[in-house]
Amino acid sequence: MFHFGLHFAYLQTFLGALALYFWLTLERPALFWSGFFTALFWFWWIGLSFRYYDLVWMVPFVIAGVGLVYGLIFWLIGFLGHPLLRAAALGALEWLHPLGFDWFRPALLFTGSIFGDSLWQLWIVLAALALFAAIRNRWRWVVPVSMLGALHMPQNTPPPDLPIKLVQTALNQRDKWDPRYLNLIVQANIASIKGAQMEGYKAVVLPESAFPLYLNMDPELVEELMGLSERVTILTGALYYENGRSYNSTYLFQKGSMRVMHKVVLVPFGEEVPLPKWIGGWVNKTFFKGASDYRTASEPSDFFMLGHKWRNAICYEATTDRLYEGDPKYMVAVSNNAWFLPSIEPSLQRLLLQLQANRHKTTIYHATNGPVTAVISPQ
């Protein structure tokens, strides 16, 4: 519903609880197909990125593969006969990350509903539904009352009034990395920065890889950005190259200086092959033309801007628990969602960011290539 701009909190709550109840009570074969089709509709867009590796033929196999992985997970849960055991397993899915991918979070069913999306609230709902399924007398109808403990009162906290311009671009993924368009893209970015400064903003944030090049290898462009940063702070995504290693990075230009912050958590199969070397090397050579995995920073990066401390995050990692260690108050996230357009991926990412904002009380400033650029406040 969120993808289509619809919000019915009570209907979402009912449908989310109904889905969990079915998972607690379905027979094992039906549970396999439920997991398969849930993953299919939730993650069908993953295969779309393979278009840009000239591997269109793999798209249906990737989509089916994702469905099979989650179908198998749900099938295994089906061996747990008692609803309480299944409830524990479904709650534990929060920590199950097949091949490093952690976007399947059952609590997301309640993000934006009248229930909260924290882990303890999910466990309350799961326990109540499991007891309702297990108890066979009239007292079972008293159990759902316990779900009132999972009710959530939205804070409706407005975002801070900070003079930050979030730039949203709409570049096609194939054109973005075409050398013929490089100069046009660079000049459009420079125009956005100058425009933000003229509009009175003190900082401007451009999306992930807004400059589609190894920015540190272009001293003239770096010099120009450092000059512009005397009047407005610039945060932008671009690649970084050093000692034969490539990084997906964020560049901070502030008061004539430059700082580079590298990504910490890479996208499985997009920026790294999360397999043992003996097969990972073959997969990389066969399907990704031998491209090396990106390198990472060892820890998340923090920086100061406009008198506040910020956590830096790049696309996928902004939805991961790793980037919220220490419960940062403010985060700047930059994304390139063009890999998966047209699809529901930007909407799913937006919901995951809202979930993390709610759990960690973090306000997220999110700039994207493609939808959805927004300031996300805890609810």
Q: Residue 59: helix, strand or coil by DSSP?
A: helix
Task: Assess whether pLDDT exceeds 90 at residue 20.
Answer: yes
Options 165, 176, 208, 271, the catalytic residue: 208
The mean pLDDT value for 106-128 works out to 96
Report whether pLDDT(2) > 70: yes
**Tokens coding 93:** 């899915």
Distance CA 316, CA 324 (A): 13
Domains and CATH numbers, the chain: 2-150 (no CATH), 164-376 (3.60.110.10)
Residues 160, 113, 139, 85: what is their CA dihedral angle, to the nearest 10 degrees?
Answer: -90
- Mean pLDDT along residues 90-100: 90
> For 23-72, what is each residue's pLDDT tens digit?
999 999 999 999 999 999 999 999 998 888 888 898 999 999 999 999 99
pLDDT score for 53: 81
From the candidates 176, 271, 272, 315, give the one annotated as an active-site residue.
315
Active site residue 224: no
pLDDT attached to residue 280: 58
> In the 8-state DSSP scheme, what is residue 231?
T
The yes-or-no verdict on residue 354 having pLDDT over 70 is yes
Cα-based angle 85, 91, 93 (whole degrees, multiple of 5): 110
What's the CA gap between 24 and 132, in Å, rounded? 10
Q: Pull the structure tokens for residue 350.
A: 């937006």
- Is the predicted pLDDT of residue 376 greater than 90, yes or no? yes
315 belongs to the catalytic site: yes
Q: What is the pLDDT of residues 64-82, one digit of tens each?
A: 999 999 999 999 999 998 9
> In angstroms, how far is CA 302 from the centroid of its own chain?
19
What is the mean pLDDT of the segment spanning 268-293?
65
Work out the percent of the chain whose per-residue pLDDT is above 70. 94
Spatial CA neighbour of 337 closest among 364, 373, 313: 373
Of residues 165, 176, 263, 317, which has the active-site annotation? Answer: 263
pLDDT above 60: residue 290: no
Reported pTM: 0.93
Q: For residue 263, indicate whether it is catalytic.
A: yes
Residues 6+ positions from 203 with CB-CB distance below 8 Å: 162, 163, 164, 165, 196, 232, 233, 234, 235, 305, 306
Selected residue with higher pLDDT from 166 and 271: 166
